[in-house]
Copies of this chain bind each other. A is one copy, B any other.
Amino acid sequence: MMAETKTRLITALIVAPFVVACFINYNSLIGLVAAVVLLASYELLNMAILDQQHRIFLYFGVSISVGFTIVYGIFQARNGMLLLCLAFILNGALSVLTIKKISIVWNTVLASSLSLLYIAGCLSFFFPLYLKFGAANALLNLTAVWLYDTGAYFAGLRWGKTKIAKHISPSKSLEGIFGGFLTAIAFSVVYKICFELIFHSEVMPFKSLVIFSLTIAIFDTFGDIFESALKRYFNLKDSGNVLPGHGGMLDRIDGLLFVTPVTYFLFTLGIL
């Protein structure tokens, strides 16, 4: 366990600065989100499309998810639903044109649709978040989830007793969630003070940071268990191995996928 924790830490220390740097500019953010969608949707479709003869659907599905993300980003996060439905229809038409074996229809079509809505759609909320509520809040959404995950991981390891989803995600515990919640609050307070002092950029008010951390605790947990359920269906432990010590990209962003649209929603309501 110690060796794995060390690998996990080293990977984080190498990858995190690059990821954070992408938030300096909107165009580099598009590149970052598209790259993450590429890896995560590849992993999802790779789980679902087991038939080696039908790898072409994997490439269709991934390309369409990534294409949607880039176009949505370039169009400044407008007409999202139209782009999403057109991407779905394009995927459907391509499937119809190339499919040979009916028995694989369901999994491939469904995995591509899921990839569009779940991965490309949900993660793309970084674009409106960045454009409407500022780079500082968008970066906080990402880094607070990281810190939440880290806090939950170590608190769970040390004090985890009350298991909440034994059959799906056996290591999840209430103690871990609480530890993550406290870590997220502590981190976001420090983040706010530093950002406002050093960069003079506005971060949500102090009282919103508590609601925000609570949102992360709830939706990160649901997101994580949801993704674990999908993996377990395929008898996999990790969605991939692109990030040593962290498993696959999808494992790393599963909480973020549920948190980001909800954060954006709370911002538009004026709650954050």
Contact = CB atoms under 8 A, between A and B. Distances in A.
Contacts of A124: 81
Interface string A71-95: 0000000011110111011001101
Nearest to A78: B81
Given A88-B122, A222-B93, A230-B105, A99 B261 contact: no
Tally of this chain's copies: 2
Nearest to A218: B93
A223 B89 CA distance: 8
A262 B86 contact: yes
Interface stretch (A111-119, A141-149, A242-250): A111-119
Contact of A121 (B81, B226, B229): B81
Interface string A240-271: 00000000000000000010011011001000
Main secondary structure, interface of A, reads helix
A219 interface: yes
Which interface residue of A48, A96, A100, A258 has the most chain B CB atoms within 10 A? A96
Contact of A122 (B85, B102, B121): B85
Contacts of A103: 233
A258 B222 contact: no
Interface in A108-134: 109-111, 113-114, 116-118, 121-122, 124-125
Contacts of A48: 106
A123 to B, nearest CB: 10
B262 A96 contact: no
A16 interface: no
Interface of A: 48, 79-82, 84-86, 88-89, 92-93, 95-96, 99-100, 102-103, 105-107, 109-111, 113-114, 116-118, 121-122, 124-125, 165, 167-168, 219, 222-223, 225-226, 229-230, 232-234, 258, 261-262, 264-265, 268
